[in-house]
Chain A
Amino acid sequence: MIEIRGLEKFYGSLQVLKGIDLDVPNGEVLSIIGASGSGKSTLLYCINALEAIEAGSVVVDGIDVHAKGTDINALRQKLGMVFQQWNSFPHLTTLQNVALAPQIVKGKSKAESREIAARQLEHVGLGDKFDVYPSALSGGQQQRLAIARALAMEPEYMLFDEATSALDPELVGEVLDTMRLLAEEGMTMICVTHEMSFARDVSDRVAFFHQGVIEEIDTPAEIFGSPKSEHLQKFLSNIR
């Protein structure tokens, strides 16, 4: 379970998160929607401490993420993350990309790491691409590679930061399908997304961010069917 209380984040004098309270129980798929610059992505970075926070707390499975003395490298293994930029390691083959972290971070044997990597690549539909370098893959394939790489650490939570935003339109579907597959398997997911169909069809809850606060959070049916806040109504009418 991820528990966020009173989270505040500044970039210099600009406050991007203005007191976020949010609980994500295990097994939930939460989508976060909102305009660019509303603080959606920053929240994800604060959950796995890629960004420091100024106030409040993030607690993952009872462990305070931002407390001094927290073994953040151990904690991050629970929190898989997929970025807008797929960030494949260009000097490693697809299989090596996925096998690297299990081997060096978890200390698994080379053979075992490759086995895990092979399984995860099959999982995301890249079973025929083990020995290919990322430069030979399409954006959609590279993003699925990034998902496999995160899954190889056997995380309990997956954070998706606009995982499809940098993709050509025709490649968005394959990545969304992979995310959908994970959701069906019961993975706890927080997805910052601009794909409203994904938010509507796959998530258990949808949170609408506006200027650093969660302005509305509810089931997809409520958020898309009967939005209450004025900003959300405006946001939805703009993207339709």
Chain B
Amino acid sequence: MEPTASFFFDFRISDLWFLAEAAWRTLLISTLSITIGTALGVVFGWMLFEGRWAAVLILGPLLDVFRSVPLIIQLVLFYNFAPIIGLILDPFLSGVVILSIYCAALVANVARGGMEAVSPSMRRAARSLGMSYWQDLRYVVLPIGTRAVFPSWVGVALGVMKDSALVSVLGYVELLKASQILITRTQEPLLILTIAGAFYFALSYPISRYAASLEKRWAS
């Protein structure tokens, strides 16, 4: 009797392509979210650093909410409630919005830490040369602060990339969702999760390497 197992045991080359495509989508949503989230996060971090009452009273607690509530809950809530206020977004855009805010909430604290790492005395020296507040921020505080907290930022970025897997709950077929689809069909979880893991590694490793080489260059 022909075993029925053959029905399941059919991981094909095209499936590898399917996973590669999904990895591309993971890369896309992560890159977008990390870019937007970092830009927003630096602005938020600066607001927290400056410590005006609006930032302390409103922004701080708000960012705490986004940092503390599990991402999966944020995604589901946003995806389902955004249409009520007339925002009809597909799973991809919903994912980008929530991941960006989540990333911004994490980056805000990192960025604030970076700005705090630049001594007041250093800033006075910059200002004493006639630099304006913004010139001091742009040419002194940001470059020095960035170097101080860059490793933390890399950690946040890699975390957000892995957390982007959660957007699958909205039906966006990224790497993890694609793996689940293939597992359901082939019943080969070990093989497919290994491949998916390898893809995640392939996405993160160049970033870690690049970060390490940057740090090394700055240290000299």
Contact = CB atoms under 8 A, between A and B. Distances in A.
Given A91-B143, A91-B147, A104-B139, A146 B128 contact: no
A45 to B, nearest CB: 8
Nearest to B220: A133
Given A90-B144, A101-B131, A146 B125 contact: yes
11 contacts: A50-B127, A73-B130, A76-B129, A83-B128, A87-B119, A89-B122, A91-B144, A91-B218, A149-B129, A150-B128, A153-B130
A111 interface: no
Contacts of B132: 73
A147 to B, nearest CB: 12
A178 interface: no
Contacts, number: 62
A206 interface: no
Given A87-B121, A91-B143, A104-B139, A150 B129 contact: yes
Interface in B175-212: none
Nearest to A146: B125
Interface residues of A, number: 26
B150 to A, nearest CB: 12
Contacts of A74: 130
Contacts of A48: 128
A105 B129 contact: yes
Interface residues of B, number: 20
Contacts of B135: 104-105
Q: Which of B130, B140, B144 has the most CB of A within 10 A?
A: B130
A48 B129 CA distance: 10
Interface of B: 119, 121-122, 124-132, 135, 139-140, 143-144, 147, 218, 220
Interface of A: 45, 48, 50, 73-74, 76-77, 79-81, 83, 85, 87, 89-91, 100-101, 104-106, 133, 146, 149-150, 153
B220 A89 contact: no
Contacts of B128: 48, 50, 76, 79-81, 83, 150
Contact of A77 (B125, B126, B130, B147): B130
A45 B121 CA distance: 12
Nearest to A103: B139
Contact of B125 (A73, A81, A153): A81
B129 to A, nearest CB: 4
Given A50-B124, A76-B129, 20 more contacts: A50-B127, A73-B130, A73-B131, A77-B129, A83-B124, A83-B128, A85-B121, A87-B121, A87-B122, A89-B143, A89-B144, A90-B147, A100-B139, A101-B130, A104-B135, A105-B130, A105-B135, A146-B125, A149-B129, A150-B128
B214 to A, nearest CB: 12
A74 B132 CA distance: 9
A153 B140 contact: no
Contacts of A76: 127-130
A76 B129 CA distance: 6
B131 A104 contact: yes
B129 A101 contact: yes
A52 B144 CA distance: 27
Q: Which of B128, B131, B135, B143 has the most CB of A within 10 A?
A: B128
Nearest to B132: A73
A133 B139 CA distance: 16
Nearest to B124: A50
Nearest to A81: B128
Contacts of A106: 130
B130 to A, nearest CB: 4
A13 B109 CA distance: 33
A162 to B, nearest CB: 12
B57 to A, nearest CB: 24
A201 to B, nearest CB: 27
A13 B125 CA distance: 27
A48 B130 CA distance: 10
Nearest to B142: A91
Nearest to A106: B130
A83 B129 contact: no
Contacts of B125: 81, 83, 87, 146
B58 to A, nearest CB: 28
Contacts of A85: 119, 121-122
